[in-house]
C-alpha cells in the first residue's frame, strides 16, 4: 500500500482532491466496463453454471443448451429461475452478512477494555 503523506497546505489539498477525483472517475470507468461485460455475457454464464461446458461447441451440450435456451425464453420457467436465483442470492447474502457481523462483533469485543460499560 502506498505510504500516506501529510497535506500541509491548501495547494497540496487541492492537488490531492484533484488526484482523488481522477481516480474515482477511472474506477467508475472500470466498473462500467465490467457491468457491460456482465450484461453482454450473463446468459452464457448462467447457462454454463447450470450445464457446465455448454458454452463450448459440443453436440450433446449444444442440444442441452438449445433446450435450456428454449426453456429460458418460456415465461413460466424464467419466473421460476429468477425466483430461485433471488432466493439463493438472498441466502448467500444473509450468510455473508452474518459472517461479517460476527467478525465485526468479535473485533469490537477484543478491542474493548474490561472496565468500559457496554451500550
Residue 112 scores a pLDDT above 70: no
**Which residues fall within 8 angstroms of residue 69, CB to CB, at 6 or more apart?**
47
pLDDT score recorded for residue 1: 45
Question: Widest CA span of the chain, in angstroms?
Answer: 70
Taking the CA atoms of 67, 70, 76 and 78 in sequence, report the sign of the dihedral they define: positive
Give the residue extent of every domain in the chain: 11-109
Q: Counting beta carbons within 10 angstroms of the beta carbon of residue 65, is it exposed (0 to 12), middle (13 to 18) or buried (19 or more)?
A: buried
Structure confidence by residue, pLDDT tens digits, 65-81: 677 777 767 777 777 77
Structure confidence by residue, pLDDT tens digits, 91-104: 888 888 888 888 87
Amino acid at each position: 500500500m502506498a505510504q500516506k503523506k501529510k497535506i500541509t497546505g491548501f495547494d497540496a489539498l487541492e492537488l490531492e482532491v484533484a488526484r482523488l477525483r481522477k481516480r474515482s472517475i477511472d474506477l467508475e470507468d472500470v466498473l462500467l466496463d465490467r457491468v457491460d461485460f456482465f450484461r453482454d455475457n450473463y446468459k452464457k454464464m448462467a447457462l454454463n453454471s447450470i450445464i457446465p461446458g455448454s458454452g463450448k461447441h459440443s453436440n450433446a451440450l449444444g442440444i442441452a443448451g438449445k433446450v435450456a435456451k428454449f426453456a429460458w425464453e418460456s415465461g413460466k420457467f424464467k419466473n421460476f429461475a429468477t425466483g430461485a436465483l433471488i432466493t439463493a442470492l438472498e441466502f448467500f447474502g444473509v450468510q455473508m452478512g452474518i459472517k461479517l457481523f460476527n467478525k465485526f462483533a468479535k473485533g469490537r469485543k477484543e478491542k474493548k477494555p474490561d472496565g468500559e460499560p457496554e451500550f
